[in-house]
Amino acid sequence: MPIVRNVSRAVSQLLQSSGCGCGISIVPVRCIGISPRQVASDASFHSVSFSESDHPRVLITGGLGQLGVGLAKLLRKRFGKNNVILSDIRKPADNVFYSGPFIYSDILDYKNLREIVVNNRITWLFHYSALLSAVGEANVPLARAVNITGLHNVLDIAAEHNLRLFVPSTIGAFGPTSPRDPTPDLCIQRPRTIYGVSKVHAELMGEVRTCFVFFHWCFGRISLYYHYRYGLDFRCLRYPGIISADSQPGGGTTDYAVQIFHDAIKTGKFECNLKPDTRLPMMYIDDCLKATLEVMEAPAEALSMRTYNISAMSFTPEELAQEVQKHVPELQVTYNVDAVRQAIADSWPMNFDDSNARRDWGWKHDYDLPELVSTMFSFLGSDSRIAQAN
């Protein structure tokens, strides 16, 4: 294959002439993974394409977290109720259980996960199982197992069975040495939390499973040839802080932006664990789910990279509180800074540069801060009135 040999030679020459003077050996072999469960070297690695009448068969891991239930609802509307399977290790609420297929799935149980994929003829996999930032710091061994070992199981199974795989990343994939305002798609990352480290690992593992060692920033769209010919169809979005009325805060550093709405309605008092001027990128959940579906449906030839930043707005706790007080003027806000969470937030981007996503596959958000706050109170306020009536 002369094209393969020529590109491999070009990569080798480029890296061996790098500014640091380090020579890096490029071996033209298919990079399938480092786990003991290797996929056969002659396996076919083509993406599965679908006609209008042939919908994907979807599995969502970690489905009872902040995003899984909402994503399942969106995908079932598009692809049919029985084509989307929600899974988790926890018992679902009745409304979730009866809304569509749900199964028990532990991502650390490779055999069980593989059986689910085979028995249900899965073609798309959304991998949402993870321990978030603050929770992960409190239990690093468990975070390492779930966020890294579980990811390897998913990658191996997705590669073996030709799945289109989505793995979310995060603002936590960046660190204090990253440019913060704005943060581009490609830059120094070096996060300081196990959550961030595991997400960078996921990004790179997804990229590296494209047959040959290469860097998409060197070759632009020529890397897509390798992806089509050999690679796992891996897609990834770096989410900002996600705000949703459908779920309770789950231990993330940006969860204050959800908690403030619950406290405003229930008690009229809110204690924030970040400094009032801590600016972070945020997004309403509907925009997040829309972006996830759009990048999964985007033609592979439109993607100039496999991991994209996406953003909608950026605000501080003080700015959010002022917008909330337009709806609840009596809300009292105090600040009791949590040192761990504050240190994490100070290492994260203040603003995301998502221009590549907007250019490549037409990403466009719908919710800015005023629309976000109004929508949250519309949902939570009606729920509160119903509860009071009951």
Mean pLDDT of 354-366: 97
- In angstroms, the Cα distances linking 85 to 153, 273, 314 are 18, 36, 33
Instruction: Indicate if the pLDDT at residue 177 is higher than 50.
Output: yes
- pLDDT tens figures, 203-222: 988 876 544 333 443 433 33
Please tell me the predicted confidence (pLDDT) of residue 209. Answer: 57
272, burial (CB in 10 Å: exposed 0-12, middle 13-18, buried 19+): buried
Q: Does 195 participate in catalysis according to the annotation?
A: yes
CB 235, CB 207: distance < 8 Å: no
**Which residues make beta-bridge pairs with 282?**
241, 313
Q: Is the pTM of this model over 0.75?
A: yes
Q: Which of 195, 226, 239, 308 is catalytic?
A: 195
Domain boundaries defined on the chain: 2-44+52-240+284-312+353-366
- pLDDT class for 225, splitting at 50, 70, 90? very low
- In angstroms, the Cα distances linking 329 to 103, 241, 326, 368 are 44, 25, 6, 21
The answer regarding whether domain 2-44+52-240+284-312+353-366 maps to CATH 3.40.50.720 reads yes
| H-run or E-run covering 15 | helix 2-16
- pLDDT tens figures, 296-326: 999 999 999 999 999 999 999 999 999 999 9
Please tell me the predicted confidence (pLDDT) of residue 131. Answer: 82
Mean pLDDT of 264-268: 94
CB count within 10 Å of CB 18 equals 10
Helix, strand or coil for residue 178? coil
- pLDDT tens figures, 91-132: 999 999 999 999 999 999 999 999 999 999 999 999 999 887
Instruction: Indicate if the pLDDT at residue 347 is higher than 80.
Output: yes
CB 274, CB 174: distance < 8 Å: no
